[in-house]
Amino acid sequence: MNTQMHNLNHEAAEDEDRALFQEMVRRILQQEVAPDYEEWEAAHQLPREVWCKLGEAGLLGVDLPEALGGSGAGVEICLMICEEISRQGFGGLASGYNIHANIVIPYLLHLGSDAQQQYWLPRMASGEVLGAIAMTEPGAGSDLAAMRTTAEKVESGWKLNGTKVFITNGQLADMVIVCAKTDPTAGARGVSLFLVDTRLPGFSRGKSIRKIGQHASDTAELFFDDLIVPDEALLGDAGKGFAYLMQELPRERLGVAAQALGAIEGALQLTLEYVQERHAFGQRIADFQNSRFTLAQVRAELEMGRAYFNQCLQRYRAGQMSPVDAATLKLMLSEMQCTSIDRCLQLFGGYGYTLEYPISRFYVDARIQTIYAGTSEIMKEVIARDMLGRVA
């Protein structure tokens, strides 16, 4: 009984701390992001200084040890920030934050040498260095075995050649984790990871890729032309890149799921406000049975999605979240996000299709969620293989 009471008290204290931190995050976003976000969307680019402001506020690298510039918080705080950014309708910033704080920083924390961590992580926590990760290629997509970017061992280190596409934060990134083939004959087992300083000769960027949503999040094509990185730029061991990617995917997909939950909740709140203010045929939109049932459905699915998210988060913290857990979570919540926000937009009628109403941004920002971090089709294949094995 004493152990049970201790656990309950500990959980209550954690919930209180999380609520206080969440309120602080909300204030910071309203002060530093909300006033200018429309302008950033129109410019198709976040200003570089916004990352420094988030770093100054302590929102980057929150689960890093204090010695590396973090707050020593749990992974759930980083995911809460992803969710809150998304809930406020800043989908482009949410994706950029997820890449930098929830993906690139953990890669370094889990795989990096002491020297690599000391060199990069404090500056990533402060916002001085913005991170990106480069996996996808023009002709390969999600097929890492078909990757063409190569890293050849040379006397001075490694020589990288190749092209990456659809790289979030690509235009502003100061450091990119690059996936490259170090053994072209070994398929997925020949992939290695490199920490590439974007100031190095041989690195270049194409112009920003224009998208239908998440405009404030820059997306770039990156080029590596005889780019030489030193031996100490290798992240982890050579040839283990694919295993590392699989190891880190659960956290990446938790981040996408957190974005989905935040966006659904934000869109639902906007819609609740609208249907209670807007009238048609002599009554509030909220009084039509269709409106009530639609919103009830969104609310019910949101609660179910959050319950599974929390279950996966507990498994992740215990080191027990499987690739199938991650695929199931990512599949269901990203698809739910698109469906739920579509239902919400419908209740706005023609106004939902205008840029004047923020629900339209929730709608277009949602669409990419079923594509990046593994498409819905890839997620279904991961789940099916667990039940049926691979197709011969």
Closest CA to 257 of 304, 320, 210: 304
Give 303's contacts (C-beta < 8 A, 6+ positions apart): none
Residue at 264: amino acid letter: I
Residues belonging to the active site? 252
Tell me the Cα Rg of the chain.
22
- Could you give the residue ranges of the DSSP H alpha helices within the chain? 2-32, 37-43, 49-56, 75-87, 91-97, 105-111, 114-126, 241-277, 289-317, 323-346, 359-366, 376-388
Report the 10 Å Cβ neighbour count for 320: 11
Residue 11, Cα to own-chain centre: how many angstroms? 26
Q: Is 31 exposed, middle or buried (0-12, 13-18, 19+ CB in 10 A)?
A: exposed
Report the 10 Å Cβ neighbour count for 211: 17
Whether the CB-CB separation of 263 and 86 falls below 8 Å is answered with yes
Residue 254, Cα to own-chain centre: how many angstroms? 8
Q: Is 316 exposed, middle or buried (0-12, 13-18, 19+ CB in 10 A)?
A: buried
End-to-end CA distance of the chain: 53
Structure tokens, 161: 């050649």
Phi, psi dihedrals of residue 279, rounded to the nearest 5°: -120, 150
Give 151's contacts (C-beta < 8 A, 6+ positions apart): 158, 159, 160, 178, 180, 181, 182, 192, 194
Whether the CB-CB separation of 352 and 270 falls below 8 Å is answered with no
**Residues across the chain:** 392
DSSP letter string, 185-197? TSGGGGEEEEEEE
